[in-house]
Chain A
Amino acid sequence: MSIGCIYALVALGFVLIYKATEVVNFAQGELMMLGAFLAYTFISILGWNYWAGAAAAIFCMFFIGNFVDRIFLRPVLGQPQFSIVMVTIGFGYMARSGAGMIPGWGTETYAISTPFSSEGMNLVPESVGSLVISQTDLSVIIATVILCAVLYAFFTHTRLGIAMQASSQNQLAAYYMGIPVKAVFSMIWGISAAVAAAAGILLAPTTLIDTSMGFIGLKAFPAAVLGGFGSIPGAVVGGLIIGIIETLAGFYLPPGFKNVAAYVVLLVVLVVRPQGLFGQKTGKRV
């Protein structure tokens, strides 16, 4: 369940960027990794309070995301989607190996100490039954719910959110309507990076931090596709489903299936219903 939430959060980052800029960010996992490392720096190296460190990491990642957009993506704005995707892949390479080069981070594995215990606690009264969940997992679930709600409200109810949707559909028209498209894009990258950082921090107690933790980002593809690329609630539901499928495959199927179960689901979804669960069917007009 909690791993599903992590997938959901990373998928959410994908979807945010895709929804607003129509770019599929292959470096989403790397953003998450950077966020986790920043949190590690603040909390474990500098010895800050957990909450302050996490907040600072998320805050920093907002600016890093912004920065990434300005440096790497603005020059290719309006180029074919494929080139932009390649840029994010290139950035992924750089982030992954770059993080390994930073002193103090390196290629080893680290842990962040959290205020959440991994002990189980019962959520429902004993008379009803038992639903045991660890505090760590609970924190992941709660954080996911809050983040999703905030983002959903942002996209549907604020001017900036609507401007973001507009600029994704037609950049030129959005310019004419007075939307600062480039600034909006940088903003969305910032937000997405911040979400990724949150995912990274939440993931840290479960899987530990290292430079290759970004690969979990690849697992978020099935989640995003399952939910229908471009749908925020879809990403969350997709993430949860993928998490559950993986856990079940781990239990009931021979080893090896756990790793690929998500991708098999992804292939099936793409073949049967490419628009995903919540996506809209699209076609080019002539």
Chain B
Amino acid sequence: MSFFKAENLAINFGGVKAVDGVNFEINKGECFTIIGPNGAGKTTIFNLISRIYDSTEGKMTFDGQDITKVPPHAIASLGIARTFQNIELFEHASVLQNLLVGRHCHSKTNIFSELAFTPSMRRTEIAHREKVEEVIDFLDLQHYRESLIMNLPYGVRKVVELGRALCTEPKLILLDEPSSGLNVEETQDMSFWIDDIKKDLGITVLMVEHDMGLVSEVSDQVLVLNYGRMLAFGSPQDVQNDPEVIKAYLGE
């Protein structure tokens, strides 16, 4: 029984087949990477999994449960968290608040106890904060704890977004181009963190990435997409030597 499985996944945007009959399986505890030229449909697959888009066809199962029709806000509590290609943080809030929003799927308070801030409310709030501090320690964000996102440099925002996803305590984390816009050093850090997420926290990673260095360092399996279709699949080395893949990237 695979951990995450996509069967014959497809979506059309006004006649354009952005994703067309894609099948893949992710095993628990591995790092699965999707690569492909721009416009290949990588981010669209992420949006399908996080249910921002409805798939035209196909089925997705996660942890033994069919998630093809689950509402988008329920995805997080099932254990799937994600980051975004162009960073979607809450700009006018502090790092701490951003991370706390990541805890939202675990909070079961009702509006009245919130308005009164009852003692039990206070206790759960403190429990959330303990969890958030763990993530802050893990990603070395102590220094930026109280800063507003809009005042932070791009590289730090990327890390905060990763942290926010981790705060949901996911079983599967979707990373959309974790290294885009980062310099060499930051990319290296990112690669260590992804490795730690996989090995120490035991979270399965699904990632879209362009930087082949990072991909070969951390990935166990690689899926290559082109024009919404599957082009190749295998270990990073296999894929890099695949003549079809080279053709797709470099042309004839």
Contacts and interface: CB of A to CB of B under 8 A. Distances in A.
Contacts of A286: 43, 47, 52, 84-86, 88
Nearest to B46: A286
A286 B48 CA distance: 12
A285 to B, nearest CB: 9
Interface string A247-286: 0000000000000000000000000000000000000001
B34 to A, nearest CB: 16
Contacts of B52: 286
A286 B49 CA distance: 13
Nearest to B50: A286
Contacts, number: 7
Contacts of B47: 286
B170 to A, nearest CB: 18
Interface of A is mostly: loop
- Interface bin, chain A: under 10
Interface string B47-64: 100001000000000000
Nearest to A286: B84
Nearest to A281: B14
Contacts of B43: 286
Interface string B29-49: 000000000000001000100
A54 to B, nearest CB: 45
Interface in B70-102: 84-86, 88
Nearest to B53: A283
A205 to B, nearest CB: 47
A238 to B, nearest CB: 25
Interface in B121-167: none
B81 to A, nearest CB: 14
A281 to B, nearest CB: 10
Nearest to B88: A286
A271 B82 CA distance: 31
A286 B52 CA distance: 10
Contacts of B85: 286
Nearest to A283: B52
A286 B176 CA distance: 10
Nearest to B82: A286
B112 to A, nearest CB: 29
Nearest to B176: A286
A128 to B, nearest CB: 45
A286 B84 CA distance: 7
A286 B161 CA distance: 14
B108 to A, nearest CB: 27
A286 B50 CA distance: 12
A286 B86 CA distance: 7
A286 B43 CA distance: 8
A286 B85 CA distance: 7
B73 to A, nearest CB: 15
Nearest to B85: A286
A148 to B, nearest CB: 28
A78 to B, nearest CB: 14
A35 B72 CA distance: 50
B129 to A, nearest CB: 28
A93 to B, nearest CB: 28
A164 to B, nearest CB: 26
A222 to B, nearest CB: 29
A275 to B, nearest CB: 14
A283 to B, nearest CB: 9
Interface string B188-228: 00000000000000000000000000000000000000000
Interface string A72-94: 00000000000000000000000
A162 to B, nearest CB: 23
A176 to B, nearest CB: 19
A286 B47 CA distance: 8
Contacts of B86: 286
A239 to B, nearest CB: 29
A286 B46 CA distance: 10
A130 to B, nearest CB: 48
B223 to A, nearest CB: 21
A283 B33 CA distance: 27
7 contacts: A286-B43, A286-B47, A286-B52, A286-B84, A286-B85, A286-B86, A286-B88
Interface of A: 286
Q: Which 5 A-B pairs have the closest CB atoms?
A: A286-B84, A286-B88, A286-B47, A286-B52, A286-B85
